[in-house]
Amino acid sequence: MNPENYLYLATILFVIGAVGVLVRRNAIVVFMCIELMLNASNLAFVSFARLNGNIDGQVVAFFVMVVAAAEVVIGLAIIVTIFRTRRSASVDDPNLLKL
Amino acid sequence: MSLLVEQFDTPSIEYQLLAPLLIVFGGAIVGVLVEAFFPRRARRDIQLTLSLLTLIAAFVALIVWSRPDLGQTAASGNVVIDGPAVFFQGTILILSLLAFLLFSERGVDSAGDAFASSAATIPGSSSERELVAARVLQTEVWPLALFSVGGMMMFVAANDLLTFFVALEVMSLPLYLLVGMARRRRLLSQEAALKYFLLGSFSSAFLLFGSALLFGYSGSISFGGIHDSLSTGVGLDPLLLIGTGFVAIGLFFKVGAVPFHSWIPDVYQGAPTPVTAFMASATKVAAFGAMLRLFYVALGDYDWNWRPMFWVVTIATIVVGSVLAITQTDIKRMLAYSSVAQAGFILTGVTAASGSGLSSSMFYLASYGFATIGAFALVSLVRDGTSEATHLSRWAGLGRRAPVLAGTLSIFLLSFAGIPLTSGFIGKFLVFEAAIDGGATPLVIVGAVFSAVAAFFYVRVMVLMYFSDPPADAPPIAVPSALPALAIAVCAAATIALGVFPGPVIDLAQEAAAFVR
């Protein structure tokens, strides 16, 4: 199969993630969309590694997985703290910070 | 299709060159162990001593070992320790040291320091009240901040896209947590942490996808490799163009440039004030340092394509930052919008795309960092009951009630406004000069006009402090403890010294202003 198709898939996944961040209201779902964007980038890195015959892209993918895991730890900690205070994980509810 | 048969080389680690980084990360790990093995009462003093010693040791190591080796790559070329890297790392270490001194403040708030006793407790709950009554202090902030400092130092020295991304995250992740840890107005602080986290990771995802496209274009993740691929011209220009744009989005977000600035006022207002000082100064230095390296080294020969984008963003940043700052009634938000405008002035230097653009940005960042830490440190001293009195009307007549505080704040505000004999004037002069030499005269005209607009709201605060009567229920002024007072004094002295005798630091910046590929 042509490796370029994986690039199209990566782009589609990235766009789905980006649109999801912009339109969804639940902080957990927004966060999942961000993870989808990171994984789309991983797919792009691995496909380019195959296309270019260069192993660096695959190494990057491993590091990104580790970083994404660390990000999950921090993100869920923040979201859970907010949820326990407000009983809601909607990104529209917190509105104290305004002009 | 052939399988990939590439050998991994054993990486060579130049321990001397990497010593400052390793010391900071080592200190942070020891800090985590202190949390696990020492009784709660003793931890705060141990963490404070450990953190300050770590930063000082790293600075000494930087001066002793990095000077003769300027322009060397370390760790198989993943990290490069050249002039700008050493200058930025030194700046970050000094600014972090000052911010850490602010972290140590325990006398201003009757309940303890600026951080929640335990960020995990629900605000207003009985468990929170118990911890406050027991005067428990949260000491995890010290190792978290040290990890962030390590990430910043790595960010400015990163020489490939992988190190670049990992350093960005090591820098940002602890900051997301620190923002949510304020002792007072905890809902506001948690909300700021959520906004910063979601928007920050959103922008990192763009940066990562942009990196993937740059890798796809050049077939190399090292900045040198990307630079070489530009001259050979592999084709596939859309990859390069979109990749450059996406990476720029991630960096513009970190420096707070318009249109990616919307998080800045919210996060600066909600975060504990010492953390705001830390973020506004050291993080900005790190983000600009990394931006300069990526765009000058990897994409240096591609500047006819990225400079127009920088022109638009620079003008928008200066205009929007200055105009919105005028409408603010909260001093922390005003300083936040002012930091957006200042980012625009620094971008003017970056857009010059020349050696003088680099050295002027370096000087501007150093001078801006000192003034910012000092200004935010003073904000935390005017207090209404338990929390800070940040509404501007509460600052009326402060010049009569607290002449030293008002006078010191005036120094920082005059520096932000770019009045002669302060560091801000020299910084603005240098970036404008570099931009004119680099053929960006229209940018300088916009910058100069909006410097005048910006001066208006800085001077307005001073007028409020000196020429209006204090309110009937004027907020009490707290007296800082010895260490934070020292930090404020150093910031004020540096702001004036860099304005009156800028020569040595300008020479240092110009001497150091040469990237190594």
Which B-chain residues 105-164 have CB contacts (< 8 A) with chain A? 119-120, 122-123, 161-162
By Cβ distance, the residue of A55, A67, A94 closest to B4 is A55
List chain B pLDDT tens, one digit each, 517 residues: 445 555 666 777 888 888 999 999 999 999 999 999 999 888 999 999 999 999 999 999 999 887 656 667 777 788 998 889 999 999 999 999 999 999 998 878 877 788 888 888 888 888 888 888 888 888 899 999 999 999 999 999 999 999 999 999 999 999 999 999 988 888 889 999 999 999 999 999 999 999 999 999 988 899 999 998 888 765 568 889 999 999 999 999 999 998 999 999 999 999 999 999 999 999 999 999 999 999 999 998 888 889 999 999 999 999 999 999 999 989 999 999 999 999 999 999 999 888 899 999 999 999 999 999 999 999 988 887 777 888 888 888 888 888 999 999 999 999 999 998 999 999 999 999 999 998 889 999 999 999 999 999 899 999 999 998 888 888 888 888 899 999 999 999 999 999 999 999 999 999 888 888 7
User: Cis peptide leading into B259, omega within 30 of 0?
Assistant: yes
Cβ under 8 Å to A: B residues 315-334: 327-328, 333
- Whether residue B180 and residue A99 make contact (CB cut-off 8 A), yes or no, is no
Residue closest to B299 by CA, chosen among B215, B226, B216, B207: B226
Domain boundaries, chain B: 11-512
Q: Which two tokens stand for residue B284?
A: 């900005």
- Other C-beta atoms closer than 10 Å to the C-beta of B513 total 23
Per-window interface: B 23-52 vs A, CB < 8 A: none
User: Which residues of A are less than 8 Å from B6 in CB distance?
Assistant: 54-55
Tokens of residue A1, six digits:
């199969």
Pair of tokens at residue B484: 């934070």
Confidence bin at A99 (pLDDT 50/70/90):
very low
Of B176, B265, B327, the CB nearest to A78: B176
Pairing assessment for the beta strands B387-388 and B383-384 based on DSSP bridges: antiparallel
A81–B contact, CB cutoff 8 A: yes
Nearest to B147 by CA among B121, B176, B120, B119: B176
Q: CB-based contact (8 Å) between A23 and chain B?
A: no
The complex's ipTM works out to: 0.94
Could you give the CA distance from residue B31 to residue B218 in angstroms, rounded to a whole number?
Answer: 41
**A21 chain-B contacts, CB cut-off 8 A:** 198, 202
Residue numbers in A near B165 (CB within 8 A): 60, 63-64, 67
Verify whether the Cβ–Cβ distance B209 to A82 is below 8 Å. no
d(CA B240, CA B245) in angstroms, rounded, equals 9
Residue of A nearest to B6 (CA): A55
Of A38, A81, A94, the CB nearest to B208: A38
Whole-prediction pTM: 0.94
